[in-house]
Amino acid sequence: MQELNPGFIVPRASAALWLRCSTWKDSMPTSMSNPVREYIQAHADDLKTYLADLIRAKTVNPPGDEYKAAKVFLDFCDRYGIPYETYAKIPGRANVVAHVGRGQPRIMVVAHLDTVPAGDGWETDPFEPIEKDGRLIGRGAKDNKGALAAMMVMARCLKEREADLGGELLIVAAADEEAGSSLGMQYLLEECGVEADVAIVPDAGYGMRMIDVGEKGALFLKVRAVGRQSHGSEPDRGASAVWPVIDFLNQIRRWRPPSVPSDLFTPPTLNLGAIHAGTVPNIVPGKCEALIDIRYLPGTDGQAIIDHLCRVLHETEQMSGGVKMELDVLSHQLPSLVAMDHPVVAYLEQRTEEVTGTRPERAGQSGATVAKFLILRGIPAVGFWCGPEGADHMANEWISLDELAQFTEVMTRVVEDLFKGR
């Protein structure tokens, strides 16, 4: 592999300012100049600093340690007089909710503090950010610390005009997104009383080309079989737990949850994620487990899916020769869909087209973000984000600083639109 030029090592916040990237500001027509853009251009170095400091705060989940990145955000809030609350279900797993403005509407923007592990294949230190060719490289640059850095600049911009906002902005820096959000957004909504009138989650899509208006339901299932162990030379003395599981999997292999064709979503899916059984060739395995992932569309009854699979499993068990079989629901996230006529969708389309020249498409996604928890809680929420396609969870993760600045402008103007309700 060709050696990567390490480029420009991003200094800490206390170091001297960098030369500012000019690609974005110089490429935009003078006629499109506006106060929000001018503010973001003037604070381009700060945007880079915030992201670099967040990347250095190593918050790999597990174990999480979100308090490290939370401190970067809290120091920022203290410096600029932005009030906040902190919440932690267990020590070290910090969540922060910061406030700009007051009154209605309450607009929430959610970023998460944790990242996946670095993994293999990095050409630089994943937790020492590097700038190269207008990109900032480091674990979390796109997923999802770039979003929080953008919201920090947005918060400063809006804080300076706080008396005229006509509403309240909540910036949520959440824990535990990469492991299900039970210590993060779910905890904040269900146990901490965090509420809003509308939310935007910058953790879905790429290049500001898509507005995530819905997410499939997600069923994680475990098939368990218990037979009777015996010597591999006398399998008839035992009852293999493996073969009935294979029979069950073959029966559902090409089955998919029923659905109505959709312009927003890809078809439903079924994935066999793992099979665990046995130890050595000469033992008949007495236990077997299989893990299944099913994604289904809004409008489909999730319980009907579970009931169907239970019937198939029961039929398989009846033919198994004494093997006991069970189906456990490990996790069930319901599908979600926001109203297509909600103003946040139109505002994102309009402002993105004005700033980037491209109008984002409305789409549903197969994966899940915290937008799902918000919608199911009764808070209209959409996903919208910039950054390169396919960079999430990959080695040498990066984000374009120019694009991040554009995203900051879009989000600031959309929040203003929602406050004005125009």
Last residue in a domain, options 314, 333, 352: 333
The pLDDT tens digits for 148-184 are 999 999 999 999 999 999 999 999 999 999 998 999 9
Does residue 368 have a pLDDT over 50?
yes
Looking at the structure, do residues 13 and 145 belong to the same domain, yes or no? yes
Looking at the structure, do residues 140 and 267 belong to the same domain, yes or no? no
3 domain residue, yes or no:
no
Q: Find where tokens 């033919």 sit.
A: 319
Query: Which amino acid makes up residue 168?
Result: E
Looking at the structure, do residues 234 and 380 belong to the same domain, yes or no? no
Query: Which amino acid makes up residue 100?
Result: V
Looking at the structure, do residues 294 and 343 belong to the same domain, yes or no? no
pLDDT band at 29 (very low <50, low <70, confident <90, very high): very low
Mean pLDDT to the nearest integer, 3-32: 37
Looking at the structure, do residues 136 and 45 belong to the same domain, yes or no? yes
Looking at the structure, do residues 242 and 305 belong to the same domain, yes or no? yes
**Number of C-beta neighbours around residue 373 at 10 A:** 23
Q: What is the pLDDT of residue 48?
A: 98
Looking at the structure, do residues 328 and 410 belong to the same domain, yes or no? no
Cβ-count burial 262-287 (b if 16+ within 10 Å, e if not): eebbeebebeeeeeebbeeeeebbbb
Last residue in a domain, options 287, 302, 333: 333
88 domain residue, yes or no:
yes
Looking at the structure, do residues 315 and 364 belong to the same domain, yes or no? no
Q: What is the pLDDT of residue 264?
A: 95
Looking at the structure, do residues 152 and 73 belong to the same domain, yes or no? yes
407 domain residue, yes or no:
yes
Residue of 419 and 390 predicted with greater confidence: 419
Q: What is the pLDDT of residue 83?
A: 98
Q: Which of 325, 321, 322, 302 is nearest to 313 (CA)?
A: 325
Looking at the structure, do residues 198 and 243 belong to the same domain, yes or no? no
Looking at the structure, do residues 260 and 283 belong to the same domain, yes or no? yes
pLDDT band at 421 (very low <50, low <70, confident <90, very high): confident
- For the chain, percent of residues with pLDDT exceeding 70: 92
Q: What is the pLDDT of residue 1?
A: 32
pLDDT band at 295 (very low <50, low <70, confident <90, very high): very high
Residue of 33 and 297 predicted with greater confidence: 297
The pLDDT tens digits for 191-203 are 999 999 999 999 9
The pLDDT tens digits for 226-242 are 999 999 999 999 999 99
278 domain residue, yes or no:
yes
- For the chain, percent of residues with pLDDT exceeding 90: 88
Helix, strand, coil: what percent of the chain each, to 5? 35, 25, 40
Q: Which of 60, 268, 95 is nearest to 182 (CA)?
A: 95
Q: What is the pLDDT of residue 20?
A: 28
Q: What is the mean pLDDT of the chain?
A: 92
Domain that holds residue 316: 217-333
From 27-36, 143-152, 164-173, the region with the lowest mean pLDDT: 27-36
Q: What is the pLDDT of residue 33?
A: 57
At 44, list the tokens.
Answer: 């381009």
Separation between Cα atoms, residue 200 and residue 381, nearest integer Å: 6
Question: What is the domain-level CATH number for residue 297?
Answer: 3.30.70.360
Looking at the structure, do residues 407 and 370 belong to the same domain, yes or no? yes
Question: What is the domain-level CATH number for residue 153?
Answer: 3.40.630.10
Does residue 7 have a pLDDT over 70?
no
pLDDT band at 367 (very low <50, low <70, confident <90, very high): confident
288 domain residue, yes or no:
yes
2 domain residue, yes or no:
no
183 domain residue, yes or no:
yes
The pLDDT tens digits for 75-90 are 999 999 999 999 999 9
Last residue in a domain, options 281, 308, 333: 333
What is the total count of domains within the chain? 2
With a CB cutoff of 8 Å and minimum separation 6, the contacts of 74 are 84, 86, 96
32: alpha, beta or left? (left if phi > 0; alpha if psi -120 to 50): alpha
1 domain residue, yes or no:
no
Mean pLDDT to the nearest integer, 13-24: 32
